[in-house]
Structure 1
Amino acid sequence: MSTFGNTGASMLKFFDAYTVRARFIPAILGVAPALAAVFLLIPWKDFDLYVVITTIATLGLLYALSDWARKQGQAIEPGLYNAIGGKPSITMMHRSDNTLDPLSKDRYRTFLATKIKQAEPTEADEQDAPALADAFYELAGTWLRTNTRDTKKFPILFNENCAYGFRRNLLGVKWPALALNALVVLICSAVLWCAWPLNMSSNMAKRVLVVLIVAAAHALYFLLGVKKRNVIAAARTYGRELILSTEAFIKGRRTG
């Protein structure tokens, strides 16, 4: 297993921090019982392909899993925004929203209007033409995301973005993960049935039981810990930090 661990660590260097934290880890958590079954039930010592599999296939597997988790998370995102009335980085800029103080938001609108070359919406615009007002805030959010990619200058924003991506993608893979979990349990149950009566001193019986324990813990975590409300909380925190990052640009302009 040390060979696999070293290989995995070296492969992770090909991925950026956001991909690892927000995409790869949720994907690995989603398929954890299947991975446990593969590494515990297959007699790797009987195969000379072990090194080849761990060195060649791991990179492709990591990419495929992270891409799968990202797509699953993106698929549920519109429903999450609808549940809370819109994208937090947009709704929090509305004058009717009290998450941020109104004086700061007035300054942010004025500053961002100069950056996206659009007239800032008035309170009447937000009420009478909400789509146009939201279009302004969407452009402003895009400008902020584009100009806050430096993780050293905006570490808090980056961490909140990773937290949101992690929770969103984890929620996206929740039901596929539980379905895969059930399949692994059925396979393990079939293995135990065929080997009945069990010899608890055999390595195979012990490995199957370990996989079943992993599957039980996995199902418990996804059923109790992976909730929509956790994703919404992370989305609101990230949206708030994104808006607050405007302050750094305003201060930088004054200093310049």
Structure 2
Amino acid sequence: MDFLDTYSLKARLFPAILTVAPAIILCLLCASWIDPGLPEAVATVAVMVLFFAAANLARRFGTAKERQIFAATGGRPRNTELTHADPTFPASQRTRYREYLAGQLGLPAPTADDEQRDPETAWEFYGQAYGWLRENTRDSETFKLLFNELISYGYYRNLLGLKPVGILLNFLSLGAAAAIVYYQPGFASLSIGKLVLLGGLSALHLLYFLFGVTRKAMLEASAIYARQLVLSTETLIKRA
């Protein structure tokens, strides 16, 4: 039943549904739901298989795309929100968060001079600080906003990984629909009107994948999650 948890549904299944939507719509349009028979049963099973198969691939394709993007940009980006040079949060707020995290880690927080003089040692502290934050903010009820931002990042990452599959299925489904209308095979039926409807939906689907599913959207979701992760320190301090 892990497949049905909130993260899996929203960050994996939803991208999967969007990816295979053209094929699903084609199956539904070809079926006769007034007098359902074997073709309709096959279409129903095909839709379910497409859902689970695509959801299973979503995480794998998303992780691979994440690695590809980070490799092209010099590795996983470092979180800088807690550093002295980052202006995302006021200096006093960053100082409170650094001091709290230093106490939890049992390590001295880097000063501005430390960051300039020995940046690698400073980054080791910040890396451990962010790791500690991730491990201690896993309660999705207490840190609901953070959890929602994590889902948003997972959604964009996995959908970006599935983008080539979604675009390919779009054209294949439209081509298959045109072939069904032209050849009128015995196992499927599709009218000109339904073909036009599928064409319109395919155009919207293609536009979304081309302009809405981008590396920029994924990186923006990642940055929003990182900021919310730092803000979760406030809740941890109050609970201490």
Q: Same fold (TM over 0.5)?
A: yes
1:30 maps to a residue whose letter is T
**Which residue matches 2:100?**
111
2:34 aligned with 1:47: no
Deviation per residue, 1:121-150 (Å, 9 max, x gap): 333443344344333222222221222122
Task: Check conservation: 2:160, 2:214, Cα contact below 8 A.
Answer: yes
2:206 aligned with 1:219: yes
Taking structure 1 as the reference length, what is the TM-score of the superposition?
0.77
Taking the TM superposition and a 5 Å limit, the aligned residue runs for 1:91-240 are: 91-194=80-183, 203-240=190-227
Residues paired across the two proteins, number? 233
Matches of 1:57 and 1:16, distance apart in 2: 20
Shift in Å, 1:112? 1.4
Shift in Å, 1:185? 2.0
Shift in Å, 1:46? 2.7
Aligned partner of residue 173 in structure 1, secondary structure: helix
Task: Check conservation: 2:29, 2:194, Cα contact below 8 A.
Answer: yes
Deviation per residue, 1:186-214 (Å, 9 max, x gap): 2223333435xxxxxx8543333333222
Taking the TM superposition and a 5 Å limit, the aligned residue runs for 1:32-111 are: 32-42=21-31, 45-47=36-38, 50=41, 54=45, 58=48, 62-78=51-67, 79=69, 83=73, 87=77, 90-111=79-100
**Which residue matches 1:4?**
none
Change (3 A) 1:219 1:52: closer
Change (3 A) 1:128 1:184: farther
Task: Check conservation: 1:85, 1:91, Cα contact below 8 A.
Answer: no
Shift in Å, 1:86? 5.1
Task: Check conservation: 2:99, 2:109, Cα contact below 8 A.
Answer: yes
Aligned partner of residue 4 in structure 2, secondary structure: coil
**5+ long unaligned stretches in structure 1:** 1-10, 196-201
Aligned partner of residue 31 in structure 1, secondary structure: helix
Task: Check conservation: 1:81, 1:87, Cα contact below 8 A.
Answer: no
Task: Check conservation: 1:37, 1:211, Cα contact below 8 A.
Answer: yes
Shift in Å, 1:32? 0.7
Change (3 A) 1:151 1:225: same
Matches of 1:225 and 1:140, distance apart in 2: 33
Taking structure 2 as the reference length, what is the TM-score of the superposition?
0.81
**5+ long unaligned stretches in structure 2:** none
Structure 1 window deviating more from structure 2 (75-84 vs 235-244): it is 75-84
Task: Check conservation: 2:27, 2:43, Cα contact below 8 A.
Answer: no
Aligned partner of residue 103 in structure 2, secondary structure: helix
Matches of 2:57 and 2:73, distance apart in 1: 24
Q: Percent identity?
A: 37
Matches of 1:81 and 1:98, distance apart in 2: 26
Aligned partner of residue 245 in structure 1, secondary structure: helix
1:87 maps to a residue whose letter is P
Task: Check conservation: 2:180, 2:190, Cα contact below 8 A.
Answer: no
Matches of 1:129 and 1:107, distance apart in 2: 22
Change (3 A) 1:35 1:215: same
Matches of 1:97 and 1:131, distance apart in 2: 17
Task: Check conservation: 2:177, 2:190, Cα contact below 8 A.
Answer: no
Matches of 2:42 and 2:76, distance apart in 1: 48
